[in-house]
Amino acid sequence: MMTMRFFAIGSWTEGMLNFEKLKNFIVSYEAATIEGSVYRLPVGFPIYIDQGRDSILGQLIELKMDETLVTLMDSFHGVHFSDATKGLHQRITKTVQKISGQLEQAQVYVFNPKKLTKSAQLIADGLWKESLNQNPPLTQQLTEKQKMYVLKLGAAKGRDIVPIQDLTLYRELMKLELIVDKGRRLALSSLGKDVYNHLT
């Protein structure tokens, strides 16, 4: 059986929502570290930057090699195949260190520093788990009603109108900057699209 090693932080680690999506493909996983920096995006999840000297604790996940899965993960991360500088992430091979001290080569999604906005916050010493414990990601702070509306709006096609009858819900989503009002219809903001991607 062919496998690939993938270094993960944030939503792709054990107990987090994207880890659950990988369960059927996971052969093994264990703690490992990588050198670099970690930032938090407005949606609340951490991203890895291949700059800096922090020792970042994450997980080395061994997956059954499946081209469809890799394509889906690349798509989720916004990898641009013809021009890496245009993508949100780039998938590269990096050396990571297992807790045993053994060095391994693994695939890592590296965030494009050119896409880093002022709203992204550097996590001191790369302690992303502690940061998430103190301030959970936006997806975990939403009510069920808010999640359901974001999911409905995100699944709408073209110029479909997804009405919102609840004025309180409308105000909450506007305050969270998850939706934009285009007059005749509502749409997800950039942040709303990020939240939608993490909820699906």
The closest alpha carbon to 171, from 152, 145, 136, 190, belongs to 145
- pLDDT at residue number 176: 92
Q: What residues contact 152, with CB distance under 8 A and at least 6 apart? A: 162
Within the chain, which residue ranges are assigned CATH 1.10.10.10? 142-199
If phi > 0 it is left, if psi is from -120 to 50 it is alpha, else beta; for residue 15 that is left
pLDDT along the chain (200 residues), means of 10: 91 88 91 96 91 95 89 90 87 94 95 89 95 91 94 85 88 93 86 88
Gap between the Cα atoms of 113 and 190, Å rounded: 18
14 backbone dihedrals φ, ψ, rounded to 5°: -50, 135
Within the chain, which residue ranges are assigned CATH 3.10.490.10? 3-134
- pTM of this prediction? 0.82
- pLDDT at residue number 90: 94
Class of domain 142-199: mainly alpha
Q: Provide the token pair at 96.
A: 């990571």
Q: What residues contact 19, with CB distance under 8 A and at least 6 apart? A: 8, 11, 12, 13
Q: Where are the beta strands (DSSP E) in 84-182?
A: 89-98, 103-111, 121-122, 179-181
Do 51 and 13 contact (CB within 8 A), yes or no? Answer: no
- Asked if CATH classification 3.30.300.30 holds for the domain at 3-134, the reply, yes or no, is no
- pLDDT at residue number 37: 96
The secondary element (H helix, E strand) that includes residue 122 is: strand 121-122
Q: Provide the token pair at 35.
A: 């050198």
- pLDDT at residue number 183: 78
What separation, in Å, do the N-terminal and C-terminal C-alpha atoms of the chain show? 29
